[in-house]
């Protein structure tokens, strides 16, 4: 257990259980998230007995940064955990601010055929504090604030639902990292029960769906989760989500050469999502040496984009990052694990 594992509400409960006042949580959060201390001995306004309790029960523990790869407008970070497992985070510098893509699990069980993370099975879920400290360590490295957070790194966030929600509450907390809820995005490959649960939370956080195919046969061939939660059911749940939250959904679509990048796929995709309050984020594929899929050429990417545009679909092509580094999700971890 680490201090970063607790939301402010949970920390208030902790102090009440130990015969203290709830306001103590605000004091601790100020030292941890505003002053960014790494040692409780730096605290000056809390009695020694309480400090000793915190040292014993809620130590200040962060993930360990062991490698950074840097390219234009992007840094990729490799972290080591207490159990010697490894995770990644990616910093992307945009004109609107600094965005970080964090990991939610060690490995991933979704098994998407084109994903380096899915090639290496899930070892365990991350604690919320291990996710929080990814943000803190990157901010420490770049010496400036992160304004946007995306849960799209190693792991399926909704397969680690409770810890992800705690993470969101901490980084969104005005006394935590104070990152606006509309600057936070959770990506899922389509775990329907958790989308339903997520829609019932009043968080105002963005939802992204890793779609990557416009029909069941193709999607099942590259994303095994589609066999459990087929497109018909997924789209039905997304429409319920929109009705309940009135928040736009993002559909992520990695373009794979001669697999899902054809004109027919573009037309099918437009028909699938027409009338839905959404936009499509087309993602040029980052090739890896371990997976046989290839990146679509720019001519076909633009053709795909144009077809969607003509169908009045809101669509963007993701800015490319990391051409000179281990850009694919899970690639840096994989290199470390085989050393």
Distance between CA atoms of residues 254 and 238, nearest Å: 20
Residues found in the chain? 339
Burial classification of residue 274, based on how many CB atoms lie within 10 Å of its CB (0-12 exposed, 13-18 middle, 19 or more buried):
exposed
Token digits of residue 296: 């679509």
- Name the phi and psi angles at 273, rounded to 5: -110, 0
From 101, 108, 112, 329, active-site residue: 329
Within 10 angstroms of residue 298's Cβ, the number of other Cβ atoms is 10
Residue tagged active-site, from 88, 116, 156, 163: 88
Q: How far apart are the C-alpha atoms of 216 and 191, rounded to whole Å?
A: 15
Q: Which H or E run includes 55?
A: helix 48-57
- DSSP annotation string for 193-243: HHHHHHHTS----EEEEE---SSHHHHHHH-THHHHS-HHHHHHHHHHHHH
* 88 catalytic per annotation: yes
User: Which strands sit side by side in the sheet containing 278-284, from one edge to the other?
Assistant: 64-71, 74-80, 86-94, 97-102, 148-151, 184-188, 206-210, 249-255, 278-284, 315-317
265 is catalytic: no
Angle in degrees, CA 15, 19, 22, rounded to 5: 40
Residues annotated catalytic, as ranges: 88, 329
């Amino acid at each position: 257990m680490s201090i970063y594992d607790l939301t402010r509400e949970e920390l208030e409960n902790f102090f009440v259980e130990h015969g203290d006042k709830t306001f103590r949580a605000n004091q601790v959060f100020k030292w941890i998230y505003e002053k960014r201390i790494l040692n409780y001995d730096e605290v000056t306004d809390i009695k020694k007995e309480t400090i000793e309790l915190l040292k014993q029960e809620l130590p200040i523990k962060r993930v360990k940064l062991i490698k950074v790869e840097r390219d234009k407008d992007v840094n990729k970070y490799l972290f080591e955990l207490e159990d010697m497992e490894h995770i990644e985070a990616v910093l992307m510098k945009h004109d609107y601010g600094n965005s970080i893509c964090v990991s939610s699990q060690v490995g991933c069980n979704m098994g998407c055929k084109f994903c380096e993370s899915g090639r290496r099975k899930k070892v365990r879920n991350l604690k919320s504090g291990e996710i929080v400290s990814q943000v803190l360590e990157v901010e420490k490295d770049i010496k400036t604030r992160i304004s946007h957070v995306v849960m799209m790194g190693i792991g399926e966030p909704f397969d680690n639902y409770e810890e992800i929600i705690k993470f969101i509450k901490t980084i969104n907390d005005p006394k935590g990292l104070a990152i606006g809820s509309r600057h936070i995005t959770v990506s899922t490959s389509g775990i329907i029960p958790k989308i339903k649960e997520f829609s019932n939370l009043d968080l105002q956080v963005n939802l992204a769906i890793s779609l990557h195919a416009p029909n069941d046969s193709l999607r099942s061939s590259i994303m095994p989760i589609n066999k459990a939660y087929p497109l018909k059911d997924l789209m039905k749940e997304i429409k319920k989500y929109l009705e309940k939250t009135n928040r736009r959904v993002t559909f992520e679509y990695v373009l794979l050469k001669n697999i899902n990048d054809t004109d027919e796929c573009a037309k099918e995709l437009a028909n699938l999502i027409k009338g839905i309050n959404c936009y499509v984020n087309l993602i040029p594929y980052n090739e890896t040496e371990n997976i046989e899929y290839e990146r679509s050429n720019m001519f076909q990417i633009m053709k795909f984009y144009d077809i969607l545009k003509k169908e009045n679909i809101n669509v963007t092509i993701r800015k490319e990052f990391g051409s000179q580094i281990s850009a694919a999700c899970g690639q840096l971890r994989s290199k470390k694990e085989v050393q």
